[in-house]
Structure 1
Amino acid sequence: MYILKVLVEYANQSLDTTFDYLSNQYVETGCRVEISFRHRSIVGYVEMCSETSLTQDELEKSQGFKYQYIKSVIDQKPLLNKELLQLADYLAKLTLSPKIAVLQAMLPIQLKPNSTQGSGIRYEKYAVFKQDKLVKTVKQQEALAYMKEHKKVKVKDSPYSKAILDKLVEQTVIEYIQEEVKRDPFQDDIEMSQALKLSDDQQKVLFHISQKLGTYFTCLIHGVTGSGKTEVYLQLASQVIERQQSVLMMVPEIALTPMMVTAFKQRFGKKVAIIHSKLSSGERYDEYRRIEEGQVMVVVGARSAVFAPLKNIGLIIMDEEHDASYKQESTPRYLTSQVARKRALYHHCPLVLGSATPSLETYSRALKGVYDLCELPHRINQNPLPEVELIDMAQEIRKHNYSLFSSKMKTAIQSCLEKGEQVVLLLNKRGYASYMRCLDCGEVVKCPHCDVTLTYHKATQRLTCHYCDYSMPVSHTCPHCHSKQVKMVGYGTEKIEEQISQLFPLARVLRYDVDTTRKKNGHHRLLKEFEENKANVLVGTQMIAKGLDFPNVTFVGVLNADISLNIPDFRANERTYQLLEQVSGRSGRGSKQGTVMIQTYNPEHFVLQCVKEHDYQKFYQKEMKIRKLSHYPPFAHLVTLTIEGKDENEVKQSSQRIKTYLEKELTETVLGPAPCMIYRMSDEYRMRLMIKTTKSQMLYPVLSRVNDFYNKNKRKVRVICDFNPYTML
């Protein structure tokens, strides 16, 4: 008899411990088992299995509680290899998260330790010829002759009915077999490509990194947009594959995955697997097993791909390393680069970070020599970077132009379309209107569950909360005073799409945002249409700013550069520079010169001036001075504690108690408590404390005690510890 120590599937802190169960058979650590827990049948994850010579009665007598037997063993071998099991332990401690939450983040839905998974394997039924002998009817004889000729036929494709085939099975002349069908998430026909001739700059970068393959180090490739970073990645990957090692290639956005997958599939064919959240659960399960079974050499994917069960990794690449979507904003709140570094260290391989606009933290480490620094300062086509013009919208208003488009931008778009070229327009706000206001009483329609206004979506005729997904039908009557004088205020991508179609007869518009890409393969379908010139204007949110490479795009317009600049967040300047520089880089990537126009009410702002000059160094130096004065990263580590609960008074009181405790236990500066930018979200009130420190490791024992006190016991509030927070909402 064996005692199993089992983690249960519920990812909350109060259950972050093992429970003992009995088994008549040995079960390996890392396997799932079906158990009964609190009168429910759920899934558990085995942490340890040890043999005992005691009987069940003797065990219960010695331990003082009743033991239950497991119901069944789900897996015959562990779900995760030794490296990933160690990584799970590391992440749980690093993020102060329940270990089961880490395991659930690491695995595809069919393998997650929870009771909602199904059998993800898909089978095809075949009829197979066995022997030739006399059968009962002429029709059966014809079917048998057909089977003898073809040997093996899909039952659904057979020219003979299943009733006839069943009769042949009864007479033992054919048999049915089931064969697994692997789902392919990448359906496009691929034309294989050859390695391109590298520029001198690319060759230097390739040589520098390839000389150090087989050793652990981190390298930043700082290359302007269009400088050919992807080709360097491909040729590095080729060298690693020749060494019989695997490659992990990460991109921040699902939107970028199709383009990177295409590039890698064209070079490496079936050796490439894909991992991202837009795959169907079956596709993700099949891709995961292909990786686990060693059938692929390259994995391309978004954030969750960092947990791909690759063995013998020889290279890890994070493209657009600066992107905020590399930070997981729900439990476990990990930073992808931390996980990637841990895996690179385990496999003794390089971690390559690539960006035209690296994060200040990454670039400062590169300048200090902590990371290797490789520069790609020129575009591969030798074209200059696009000319950027800042349009002062205050002057447009003085000229009585109240349109969403400046007169110069209208002229530029019209000229571009007349020449048969393509336009990209960025507005980092989705929906049709920002909010609905009553002109009589002044009330704005807000979400009943969050302290935010509801955004109007014309396509669905609904007002929607972009934080909790609450929505309601739009009404043209004020819900407060019942006046009919209501007005839609502000604008989003949906309204821009409509106005472009009205203003420019030549325009064929595609909108690219969360709303238009929800469906399966939505990203891929829209980008393919734009690539094939079925549309000549692409309107989108920040999703269009990175990694997209369309040679016929010669004009990029930014409709309101001030949206991200005015957010009360210490990273607002950095994110705005990155967004604008990246979207500018979509223009003029082919043989034609590109232009960019940025509409703003603040054209003298240093961030916009740096974008105008494509001067990352100037931006870096100026922003670093600001960060140093205010003691923000990279000059300090940040940790935030968000205290949330349904009882407002309890949230405020608990926040103050935690502040007092932290000031008693720590020497670091503790800021707050202050209401979060969105004070109430999903019916919970939220207060925040912020700690600035140069030694974050010293905080762990103290924060762990706070975490245990509030989250492992039934309290009226919950505390979320976030190391390296990326959002201040």
Structure 2
Amino acid sequence: MYIVKVLVEHPVHSLDTTFDYLSHEPLLKGIRVWIRFGYQKIIGYVESIEETVLSQEELEKQVGFHYQYIIDVIDEEPLLNEELQDLANQLSRMTLSPRISCLQAMLPTQLKPASHQAVGMKTQLCVEVIMDQSAKTVKQQECLSFLKKHPDIPLKEVPYSRALLKNLEKQGCIQIIEKEVYRQPFSMTHQAKHIQLTVQQQKVVDGILSHQGRVALLHGVTGSGKTEVYLTLAAHYLKNNQAVMMLVPEISLTPMMVEVFRERFGDQVAILHSRLSQGEKYDEYRRIKRQEVKIVVGARSAVFAPLENIGIIILDEEHDPSYKQESKPRYLTSQIAKIRAKTHHASVVLGSATPSLESYARALKGIYDLYELPDRINQKPLPHVEIVDMIQQTRQHNYSLFSIPMKQSIQTTIDKGEQVILLLNKRGYATYVQCQDCGEVLKCPHCDVTLTDHRSEHKLKCHYCEYMIDYPRVCPHCGSTHFKSIGYGTQKIEEEIEKLFHGAKVLRYDVDTTRQKNGHLKLLEKFRNKEANILLGTQMIAKGLDFEDVTFVGVLNADLSLNVPDFRASERTFQLLCQVSGRSGRGQKQGHVIIQTYNPDHYAITCAAKHDYVSFFHQEMKYRQVAKYPPYCHMVSILIQSKQEKWIHQVAMDVKNYLQTHSHQTIILGPAKSTIYKMQDIYRERILVKFLNSKDIYEALNNINDYYNKQQKGKVRIVCDFNPYSQI
């Protein structure tokens, strides 16, 4: 008999421990099992097994509780290899998250230790020749010859009648069998031609290959050929029979990167991201686990892909906040990549035209190897960037969303038969709706935010909890029917463009228009095929897009990201402006960019206009040093949450007092109400802690986490987020 220690599927701190069950047979660590937990039949994850010579009665007498047996075993082999099992435990400690939530983050839905199972494997009927003999008739012999040339052909693709096949089956020549087939998340592509690297690109490749096991920062301007460097590095490791992990931040970039890698490496590539169907995820994961592929291309969670013998891990657009997981476990992808690379003695490449300040600072200190690609391929010039002061436009009595130079540039570009990209980092039609008689602003009842007008759907929506109502007919406060939409989003701009510009054909590219499967790909394909000459979108359009005929890029309001209450606001604005500017002039024609702003002298905007990363870096670092923000310190955000407003501030003060007493060499800011005080009916206060060494604070945070999330569960919940990327 065996005692099996099992983690249960519920990812809550109060259940973050193993529970003992019995089994007649030895089980493998890392498999899923069905167990009885209270009155529920749920899934457990086997953490360890030990054999015992005692009977069930003797065990129960010894420990004082009743043992239950494992109901059933789900997996024949462990879901995760030893490396990933150890990584899950390490991730749990690093992020103060339940171990089961870390395991669930690593696995596709079908394989998660959770009861809501969905799609399984896909099968199809295939025809297999089992005996090399002559058939009875000429037609049967003709069919048999065809089947020999096409082994394991699907039954539905055989160009002969079912009756004929049945006769061949009776003669023992063939058999019809059910075979597993993989779902194809992408279409087949043709093999790409090899591209000769430039001298600069080859120098970068040689440098990275000669320093195996190091972290390299590749700082290359937009259009400098970073992707070709990635492909050449991948080819080298593939030739040495080592695996390659290629990570991109946005789902919208994944299909494009997959296409490039599939063209070069064919069936060696698997894809992992959240927009795949459940069945496609399941199949891709098993292809990777069975070592049928050597390259994985995917978004954030692909860092947990069960690859063996990894040679290199590449993070494109390494600065992007999408690499930070904002729900438990709150991990930073680059941190996980470095842990996995250390295990495999692999190299890590962080690529970006606008690296994060933390990464560039580490590179200047020599912690990372720094490689530069300062020029575009074939010496193509970077686009000319013009800053338009919208205050001056207002003084000239232009109250339009488009400045006069912007209007002229858009119309000229359309008239020349070229294409335009316009960035407005705000979706929806208008920011909020206000009653004109009493001034009432319609707000979400569950969150401390206004409802956004989505005019095309005649709905008002909350972008945080998905609460939605029909566009109101009367004011709930005074009964008036007079409403006004204030502010503007991509839907309103789309409407304005069609009125203002002759010959404009607009495609709107935001979360609302790309919800459907492959929505990103379909829209971009339309733009590539010239079905539209203006691509209007949110920050999704700022990265990775490469269209030869895009010669003009317009930024409608550069201040949207600049005025966010976050110490990274300037950095994110600079990165966004540089990235979107880089979409212009990537073909043979010179690019042009206009940035509309009410802060024309802000260094984030002036440096972006000059494509001057180094000047921005030094200016921003001065402010970070004075205010003691990363990279001059580490940070942890402590979010105190409760459905009862009366408790939250007192608990926040208790947490602060405990930290002041039990942590050393730290700076504690707060507590203060979160930017959005109420979200999904939960009240929120935040404490920010700056520290230099995690040893100074980790034990105190662990005790706070243990006390409020395990012992005092229900009243208040504490969320600790190391390296926070969001201050909402």
Taking structure 2 as the reference length, the TM-score comes to: 0.96
* C-alpha distance 218-128 of structure 1, shift in aligned 2 (>3 A): closer
Distance 1:161 1:623, change over 3 A: same
Partners of 1:551 and 1:588 within 8 A in 2: yes
Measured in 2, the distance between the counterparts of 1:517 and 1:332 equals 27
**Secondary structure, counterpart of 2:375 in structure 1:** coil
CA distance in 1, matches of 2:587, 2:376: 10
The Cα of 1:191 is off from its aligned counterpart by: 2.2
Change (3 A) 1:358 1:132: closer
Secondary structure in 2 aligned to 1:562?
A: coil
Q: Secondary structure at the match of 2:507?
A: strand
Between the aligned partners of 2:531 and 2:206, the Cα distance in structure 1 is: 40
- 1:436: which partner in 2? 433
Q: Indicate the residue corresponding to 1:701 in structure 2.
A: 699
Secondary structure of 2:109's aligned partner: coil
Q: Distance in 1 between matches of 2:203 and 2:635?
A: 36
Deviation at 1:697, TM superposition (A): 3.1
- In the TM superposition, residue 508 of structure 1 has moved relative to its aligned partner by 1.6
* Counterpart for residue 448 of structure 1: 445
In structure 2, how many angstroms separate the alpha carbons of the residues matched to 1:201 and 1:454? 50
Are 2:678 and 1:680 aligned?
A: yes
Match for residue 195 of structure 1?
A: 194
Quote how far apart the aligned CAs of 1:290 are.
0.9
Q: Which amino acid aligns with 1:253?
A: E
Aligned pair partner of 2:563 in 562, 566, 590 = 566
What is the 5 A alignment of 1:351-366?
A: 351-366=348-363
Matched with 1:478 is: 475
Contact 1:147-1:153 within 8 A present in 2 as well: no
Q: Which residue of 2 aligns with 1:710?
A: 708
- Are 2:98 and 1:98 aligned? yes
**What does 1:527-676 align with in structure 2 at a 5 Å threshold?**
527-667=524-664, 668-676=666-674
Instruction: Summarize the Cα distance change of 1:167–1:384 in structure 2 as closer, same or farther, 3 Å threshold.
Output: closer
1:249-271 C-alpha deviation (Å, 9 max, x unpaired) = 11111111111111111111111
- Would the alpha carbon gap of residues 28 and 548 (structure 1) be closer, same or farther in structure 2, given more than 3 Å must change? same
> Is 2:213 the counterpart of 1:206?
no
CA distance in 1, matches of 2:21, 2:238: 44
Structure 1 residue 56 displacement after superposition: 1.1
What is the correspondence of 1:143-542 to structure 2 with a 5 Å cutoff?
Answer: 148=144, 150-151=146-147, 154-156=154-156, 175-187=175-187, 189-212=188-211, 215-542=212-539
SS where residue 720 of structure 2 aligns? strand
Q: Which consecutive residues of structure 1, in runs of 5 or more, have no partner in the other structure? A: none
Q: Counterpart of 1:27 in 2: which secondary structure?
A: coil
Q: C-alpha displacement at 1:171, in angstroms?
A: 9.4
Question: Does structure 1 conserve the Cα–Cα contact (< 8 Å) formed by 2:243 and 2:295?
Answer: yes
The percent identity for this pair of structures is: 57
Structure-1 separation of matches of 2:608 and 2:377: 20
Q: 1:51 to 1:447 in 2, by over 3 A?
A: same
Q: Secondary structure at the match of 2:11?
A: coil
2:119–2:279: 8 Å Cα contact kept in structure 1?
A: no
Structure 1 residues 237 and 128: alpha-carbon distance in aligned structure 2, compared to 1, 3 A threshold: closer
> What amino acid maps onto 1:193 in structure 2?
A
Give the conservation status (yes or no) of the 8 Å contact 2:119–2:278: no
User: What's the CA shift for 1:604?
Assistant: 1.2
Quick one: structure 1 residues 163 and 57, their matched pair in 2 at CA, closer, same or farther if it must change by over 3 Å?
A: farther
* Residue identity in the other structure for 2:720: C
Q: Is the 8 A contact 2:411 2:502 kept in 1?
A: no
- Counterpart AA for 1:711: N
Paired position in structure 2 for 1:13 = 13
Question: Structure 1 residues 439, 27: CA separation in 2 closer, same or farther (over 3 Å shift)?
Answer: same
SS at the partner of 1:495? helix
Residues in 2 aligned to 1:697 and 1:415: alpha-carbon distance in whole angstroms: 60
User: C-alpha separation between the residues in 2 aligned to 1:365 and 1:548?
Assistant: 28
> 1:175-198 CA distances to partner (integer Å, 9 max, x unpaired)?
4411011111111x4221133122
Q: Deviations over 1:572-606 (max 9, x none)?
A: 00000000011001111111100000111111112
Residue 86 of structure 1 pairs with residue 86 of structure 2: yes
Which residue in the other structure is 1:22 paired with? 22
Partner SS for 1:26: coil
Deviation at 1:643, TM superposition (A): 0.5
Q: Which amino acid aligns with 1:118?
A: A
Cα separation, 2, equivalents of 1:171 and 1:6: 53
CA apart distance, 1:655: 0.7
1:123 is aligned to: 123
Match of 2:63 in 1: 63
Between stretches 380-389 and 319-328, larger displacement belongs to 380-389
Secondary structure (helix, strand or coil) at the match of 2:20 reads strand
Q: CA deviation at 1:174?
A: 6.1
Q: Kindly indicate whether the alpha-carbon contact (under 8 Å) linking 2:88 and 2:102 is maintained by their aligned counterparts in 1.
A: yes
Deviations 1:598-650 (A, max 9, x none): 11111111211111211111111111000001000000111111000100011
Moved more, 326-335 or 164-173: 164-173
The answer to whether the 8 A contact 1:429-1:492 is kept is yes
Shift of 1:365: 0.5
- Kindly state the Cα deviation for residue 285 of structure 1 after the two structures are TM-superposed: 1.0
**Contact kept in structure 1, 2:104 and 2:113, CA below 8 Å:** yes
**C-alpha distance in 2, partners of 1:146/1:672?**
82
Aligned residue for 1:75, secondary structure, equals coil
Deviation at residue 199 of structure 1 after TM alignment: 1.9
CA deviation map 1:279-329 (0-9, x unaligned): 111111111111111111111111011001111011111110000000000
Q: Which residue of 2 is the match for residue 689 of structure 1?
A: 687
How many Å apart are 1:653 and its aligned residue? Answer: 1.3
Deviates more, 1:121-130 or 1:618-627: 121-130
Corresponding residue SS for 1:564: coil
The answer on whether the counterparts of 1:641 and 1:688 sit within 8 Å (CA) in structure 2 is yes
Change (3 A) 1:150 1:67: farther
Residue type of the partner of 2:353? A
Look up the SS of the partner of 2:341 in the other structure: helix
Name the CA distance, whole Å, in 2 between partners of 1:716 and 1:549: 51
Do the aligned residues in 2 keep the contact of 1:132 with 1:144 (CA within 8 Å)?
Answer: no
Change (3 A) 1:163 1:53: farther
One-letter code of the match for 1:277?
S
Normalising by structure 1, report the TM-score: 0.96
User: For residues 159 and 362 of structure 1, do their structure 2 counterparts lie closer, same or farther at Cα, with a shift above 3 Å needed?
Assistant: closer
Taking the aligned partners of 2:642 and 2:162, their CA distance within structure 1 comes to 60
AA paired with 1:75? Answer: D
Q: CA deviation at 1:55?
A: 1.2
CA distance 1:128–1:143, shift in 2 (3 Å): farther
Is this contact kept in 2: 1:432–1:491, CA < 8 A? yes
- d(CA) in 2 for partners of 1:606, 1:536: 32
Amino acid at match of 1:106: M
Kept after mapping to 2: 8 A contact 1:195/1:235: no
Amino acid at match of 1:32: R
For the residue of structure 2 that corresponds to 1:670, the secondary structure is strand
1:278 counterpart SS class: coil
**CA-CA distance at 1:676 after TM superposition:** 0.2
Q: CA deviation at 1:150?
A: 5.0
Secondary structure at 2:456 match in 1: coil
Q: Secondary structure at the match of 1:45?
A: strand
Aligned residues: 722
Deviation at residue 408 of structure 1 after TM alignment: 0.9
CA contact (8 A) 2:140 2:164 kept: no
Q: Residues 347 and 393 (structure 1 numbering): CA distance in 2 closer, same or farther, change over 3 Å?
A: same
Q: Deviations over 1:527-568 (max 9, x none)?
A: 111122222110000011011111111000000011000001
Q: Distance in 2 between matches of 1:85 and 1:130?
A: 43
Contact 2:353–2:579 (Cα < 8 Å) also in 1: yes
